[in-house]
Structure 1
Amino acid sequence: MSVKLDNREQSRSRVQDVRAAARDTVPVAMGYLPLGSAYGILLTHSGIPWYWAPISCLLVFAGSMQFLSVSLLSTAAALPQVALATLAVNFRHVFYGLSFPLDRIRSRPARAYGVFALTDETYSLVAARADGELSGRRITYIQLLSHAYWTGSCTLGALAAYALPAGLKGLDFALTALFVVLAQESIYRQRNLLSVVMGLSASLITAPLMRDNFLAMAIGIFFVMLIVSYLTQRRSRG
């Protein structure tokens, strides 16, 4: 009898985590719909078969890199060029891993998937929460749902591209709008403007110096600022 009750409690807790993760990922879903559709349209209009949209989403799951991969595939780029482009575009994920709460995820398969499915959007959702607010299972559901939103949106766009004229513009701005919404939500939750000031400062410092590698350099400067801020606070407390 107790075993049945435990199973029911676990099932109920699992359903609650899925519902909570679904609520958490509403901004991601709204941003992924136009952005993923734009990727699917771009892929199909570039002469690549539509089914590569879901395949690339399932195996790669890197929005900005997938957009770049369309041009790389279209020009038959060499493997070293693809590897270098991937490193340059996704280098920021190295910094994400430093503060992503992977230790809350218990099972090894879920941890491996957590590393694979770590994106800008899921990091923003998870990192903005206080310690202990999200369980490991809820984090996994957030990543699974985000992955499903992206795959579905890209597939939808790839199929819809056959009925749309070539040369559509403006859909890629959804990525910028999505980041603005996620940053706004993070500020409201933390109520700490220090990270915002440091992020803006890093961008202003990098903008006149680097244009091609702006994102990687800005994140690097921001990371140094975070370390200096941490050491300063630690010294003042000590």
Structure 2
Amino acid sequence: MTETAQFKLGFQDSLSVGLGIFPLGIALGMLAIELDLQWWVAPLTSLIVYAGSVEFMLLSLFASDASLLTIAALVFAINFRHVFYAFSFPLHLVKNPVARFYSVFGLIDEVYATYSGKDTAELTGTRVVTMQVISHLYWLGGSLLGVVIASALPVDLHGFEFALCALFTVMFIDAFSSRRQLPSSVLAGIAVTAGMLMPGDFDLLLSLLIFAALLAVRAVFNYRSAKGPALGGEV
């Protein structure tokens, strides 16, 4: 198959992703203006951070003058899951070193969901990277459009910062509605409660760390439970 055909397939693959992330990019740009940040903050984070929901959190942290240590720790804790994406993502198809570096950078949830279950025989590096680049442009373009819309509106957008809370609330409800994720939802509630009871101003960071620890314990327990019958069987 020609390179042109692979570009077209990558573009087609990006359409479903764009339908989801372009409107969120608009919301990100509008949120930046509502928080009285410079117009370029949202597009810049979209360009160099490109981490979806983390960017909403970053804008709020920037507006509240949070410390760099707090920002770094929160971003690391929230996005650590991306480390494991490479185990089942077809990065081996991307041969060019520069393109592979970008492919690692552009490995967002939606891209992973699109390609992780596909037969690698159907994919090429060109198709994968094309899809990632165009998806990135959707996000960047959405944030730019959001800045333009918010700047042009004659009314105050007071309260729009609730978009971050609303986003995570919808994600939580979606996870809670799945019985498979019910234990994780309960553990999240325990972690948040414990974090809020801790002294100091790092309740969010502490909650994330506690939640990560609880998830690790749950993973070990599930692994041992799954291996238990086989290890305890007759010789």
Report the TM-score range of the alignment, normalised by the length of the smaller protein: 0.7 to 0.9
Mind listing any 5+ residue stretches in structure 2 that lack a counterpart? 172-176, 193-207, 230-235
Cα deviation for residue 49 of structure 1 reads 1.4
Distance 1:118 1:56, change over 3 A: same
* Corresponding position: 1:32 with 2:21: yes
Please list, as runs of the form range in 1=range in 2, the aligned pairs for 1:19-58 lying within 5 A after superposition.
19-58=8-47
Aligned counterpart in structure 2 of residue 16 of structure 1, from 5, 27, 43? 5
Matches of 2:214 and 2:111 in 1, distance apart? 20
- What residue in structure 1 maps to residue 66 of structure 2? 77
Matches of 2:70 and 2:97 in 1, distance apart? 32
Name the % identity.
Answer: 32
- What residue in structure 2 maps to residue 143 of structure 1? 132
Distance 1:219 1:132, change over 3 A: farther
- What residue in structure 1 maps to residue 205 of structure 2? none
Distance 1:177 1:71, change over 3 A: closer
Distance 1:155 1:92, change over 3 A: same
User: What per-residue deviation string (whole Å, max 9, x for no partner) do you get for residues 152-194 of structure 1?
Assistant: 001100111123341348866689999xxxxxxxxxxxxxxxx
Counterpart code for 1:39: L
Matches of 1:228 and 1:130 in 2, distance apart? 31
Matches of 1:144 and 1:227 in 2, distance apart? 41
Counterpart code for 2:87: L
Question: RMSD between aligned alpha carbons?
Answer: 3.6
Cα deviation for residue 121 of structure 1 reads 0.6
- What residue in structure 2 maps to residue 104 of structure 1? 93
Aligned counterpart in structure 1 of residue 109 of structure 2, from 106, 110, 120? 120
Q: Is the 8 A contact 1:35 1:174 kept in 2?
A: no
Mind listing any 5+ residue stretches in structure 1 that lack a counterpart? 1-11, 179-198, 233-238
Matches of 2:99 and 2:220 in 1, distance apart? 27
- How many equivalent pairs are there? 205
Cα deviation for residue 23 of structure 1 reads 1.1
- What residue in structure 1 maps to residue 188 of structure 2? 210
Q: Is the 8 A contact 1:28 1:146 kept in 2?
A: yes
Cα deviation for residue 203 of structure 1 reads 1.2
Counterpart code for 2:39: W
Counterpart code for 2:185: A
- What residue in structure 1 maps to residue 233 of structure 2? none
Distance 1:114 1:216, change over 3 A: farther
Matches of 1:224 and 1:24 in 2, distance apart? 38
Q: Is the 8 A contact 1:210 1:217 kept in 2?
A: no
User: What per-residue deviation string (whole Å, max 9, x for no partner) do you get for residues 80-102 of structure 1?
Assistant: 11111111110111221221111
Matches of 2:3 and 2:34 in 1, distance apart? 41
Counterpart code for 2:97: R
Q: Is the 8 A contact 1:35 1:175 kept in 2?
A: no
Matches of 1:128 and 1:113 in 2, distance apart? 21
Cα deviation for residue 131 of structure 1 reads 2.5
Give TM-score scaled by structure 2 length: 0.73
User: What per-residue deviation string (whole Å, max 9, x for no partner) do you get for residues 17-65 of structure 1?
Assistant: 1211111111111111211100100011101111222211111111111
Counterpart code for 1:117: G
- What residue in structure 2 maps to residue 132 of structure 1? 121
Secondary structure of the corresponding residue to residue 86 of structure 2: helix
Cα deviation for residue 207 of structure 1 reads 1.3
Give TM-score scaled by structure 1 length: 0.73
- What residue in structure 1 maps to residue 142 of structure 2? 153
